[in-house]
């Protein structure tokens, strides 16, 4: 699985994800830091990446477009640093690997992960 880490998350996530065996890249390494969310989403989709973000806009864009992809993981916790979230996020990535390959929106908070298949219904 390839993962694109959005600008609103630390580049530290790349090393964490790679250490667990996933290909990962931070948006700052491949695109303009001022790029629109649409540009980031289109890049992730074109390159077969799961998009890891702290931004709610991506779920809304998936719903509005009835998009089949890319898969998006939205982290909805106050502390989004790897030192705090690594165990939770790694377990979610492993548990939902097949679904992420097929197209899902996963919303992660401290208590649970909610998985919705794409395209999202209106």
**pLDDT score, position 48:** 97
The pTM of the full predicted model, rounded to 2 decimals, is: 0.96
| Residue 54 Ramachandran class (φ > 0 left, ψ -120 to 50 alpha, else beta) | alpha
User: What tens digit of pLDDT does each residue of 108-118 get?
Assistant: 998 889 999 99
Distance of CA 17 to the CA centre of its chain: 12
Evaluate if residue 122 carries a pLDDT over 90: no
CA–CA distance, 93 with 51 (Å, rounded to integer): 12
Calculate mean pLDDT across residues 11-38.
97
Domain boundaries, the chain: 2-108
Per-residue pLDDT for 30 more than 80? yes
CATH hierarchy code of domain 2-108: 3.40.50
């Amino acid at each position: 699985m390839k993962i694109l880490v959005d600008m609103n998350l630390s580049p530290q996530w790349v090393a964490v994800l790679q250490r667990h065996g996933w290909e990962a890249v931070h948006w700052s390494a491949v695109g303009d830091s001022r790029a629109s969310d649409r540009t980031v989403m289109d890049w992730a989709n074109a390159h077969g990446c799961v998009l890891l973000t702290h931004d709610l806009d991506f779920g809304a864009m998936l719903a509005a477009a009835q998009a089949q992809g890319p898969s998006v993981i939205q982290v909805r916790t106050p502390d989004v640093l790897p030192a705090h979230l690594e165990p939770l996020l790694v377990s979610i990535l492993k548990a939902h690997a097949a679904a992420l390959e097929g197209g899902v929106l996963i919303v992660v908070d401290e208590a649970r992960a909610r998985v919705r298949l794409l395209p999202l219904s209106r």
